[in-house]
Amino acid sequence: MAAFSKLATAVCLLVVLLLAAFSGSVVVEARPVPRSAPRRVVSSKPPDSYRVTSDGIEAFQKTRSFRNRKLLGETTTKSPENTPPQVADFNVDDFGAAGDGKTDDTKAFQNAWAKACSSAEPSTVLVPAGKKYLIKQTPLSGPCKSQVTFNIDGTLVAPEDKTGWNKQGYPQWISFTGIDWLTVTGKGTLDGTGKSSWKNSCRVNRKHPCTFAPAALTFSSCNHLKVEDIKLLNSPQIHLFVQYCRDVTLSHLTITAPGTAPEADGIHLSHTEDIQIIKPVIKAGDDCISVASGTKNLYASDVQCGPGHGISIGSLGNKNSEAQVSNITIDGAHLSGTIYGARIKTWQGGSGYAKDIKFLNMVMDNVKHPILIDQFYCTQPDPSKPKPCKELASAVEISDVQFKNIRGTGVTKYKDVINLHCSKTFPCRDVVLQDIDIKTTSGGKKNTAISSCENVKLSKSSDVSPAPCTSVGKKDDWIQDEFE
Ligand SMILES: *[C@@H]1O[C@H](CO)[C@@H](O)[C@H](O)[C@H]1NC(C)=O
């Protein structure tokens, strides 16, 4: 009898466990197995702090806050294969959030996060739909005990007044740091209320000092990160900033800011590897996507961009810094009304490389400078009187760059639709132009588009209109556009 009841208990237990495992497998979306075994960190340098350049952000020097932080390559959170499938939900309303758009709900968010992050089971922070949560500067950090999903269905709104926000490093509104296997998802919106910051920008009013305005959403040192579906609106500067992360998927994001919002990039990547960007819709005041140093293995597809400054690699090599960017593919993009299209920009005096870069299958409507490699990028003290940037002894080397299947229309005033402008000491190597057709006029008028080159070694060019390198590149009309 005793033996039988022991057996019965064991059987019951097994059934319960099986049920739990089964229901769990339905509720929890299976996470992909990491694409590759942890790799060596590209740069052994610790994360950087950031400083203002008129181009936005350049990695700079160590900061105290980052000094001891773990770098790429290690996973602290148990990977999904080893975690039990139970799910715990933490609704911010249960932590006292008012959701009226006026009450400061920062504490409620932090408390809900603390619970989720310390939960032994995979858990979700829920921000319910139909409500507006006023959130001040909110750093959320790991490591967490298990996977956390941050589900934003409602609206998060930043206070108009952002004075006193973390002046040392790069100010951030909502930031996630040191968290592995994090998912941020939902139908909700992050409203950065950036207007007040824009008008204080040195780009808008030259009398103002150039300072950083907050990034709306920042991820630092987060491996196996997913950000999907959410909307980012009117960030003071960068909308989505990803740095020192590995294995990142950004899918179906909507980013919206006016074309005049200074330095309001859409997605800014730095020191991050293995990234997929899927179908973003970006209206921005600066680059729709900017790829800074330390970015490796990026695949972006179906990008919608405009207004904005296009899709940019760089700027790289500012202040004689060393840059490393490789294996970047932009595959499928529609740009409309942007200043640039496919662009690589580097500073003189820098070192390192930007290599294996592909811009494929792009349509560009009404883009002033559709294809541009600019190895002489610099900022102009007075943008109304642009001066050529000085050639120095070193430069970031640019090689193995493909522009393929790109068509569209330029803007009549700007003739140089393909401009490849490289330095004598470090000519650009292995550049491929293929299947390109860009016109600068419509309505039956003559196509006035030209293509200029300087110190470029084309390894291939076929079916390219305008014919490649028909004029010698001298930085001309496009220089002043940096400040538009
Ligand atoms: C280049 O990046 C893509 C996208 O992340 C990746 O799938 C591919 O394996 C990378 N190639 C190499 C040679 O690392």
What is the per-residue pLDDT across 409-429, written as a single tens digit (0 to 9) for each?
988 778 889 999 999 999 999
Residues 6+ apart with CB under 8 A from 445: none
φ, ψ for residue 109, nearest 5 deg:
-65, -45
Three-class SS of residue 324?
Answer: strand
Q: Whose CA is nearest to atom 13 of ligand 1?
A: 327
**pLDDT, tens digit (0-9, with 9 covering 90-100), for 180-223:** 999 999 999 999 999 989 998 888 888 888 888 999 999 999 99
Instruction: Compute the distance from residue 81 Cα to the ligand 1 centre, in Å.
Output: 24
- Cα(85)–Cα(123) distance, rounded to whole angstroms? 10
Least confident stretch, 26-30, 274-278, 286-290, 375-379: 26-30
Provide the residue type at 26 as one letter: V
In the chain, the percentage of residues whose pLDDT exceeds 70 is 76
Q: Which residue has the tokens 């959410």?
A: 230
Ligand 1 environment, Cβ below 6 A? 274, 297, 299, 327
Would the pLDDT of 58 be above 70? no
What confidence tier does 77 reach under pLDDT thresholds 50, 70, 90? Answer: low
Q: Whose CA is nearest to atom 8 of ligand 1?
A: 297
- pTM for this structure? 0.83
| Whole-number Cα distances in Å, 64 to 69, 148, 168, 294, 481 | 10, 27, 10, 20, 36
Pocket test for ligand 1, best of 224, 299, 360, 402 (most atoms within 8 A of CB): 299
Residues 6+ apart with CB under 8 A from 169: 49, 50, 63, 65
Least confident stretch, 40-49, 196-205, 405-414, 450-459: 40-49
Instruction: Compute the distance from residue 297 Cα to the ligand 1 centre, in Å.
Output: 5
| Whether the Cβ atoms of residue 298 and residue 329 lie closer than 8 Å to each other | yes
For the CA of 296, the closest atom of ligand 1 is 2
**pLDDT, tens digit (0-9, with 9 covering 90-100), for 330-350:** 999 999 999 999 999 999 999
Mean pLDDT, the chain, rounded, equals 83
**pLDDT, tens digit (0-9, with 9 covering 90-100), for 80-121:** 555 445 568 999 999 999 999 999 999 999 999 999 999 999
Two structure tokens written together for 170: 């790069």
Residues 6+ apart with CB under 8 A from 257: 194, 233, 234, 235, 239, 264, 283, 284, 285
- Cα(148)–Cα(115) distance, rounded to whole angstroms? 10
φ, ψ for residue 155, nearest 5 deg:
-110, 135
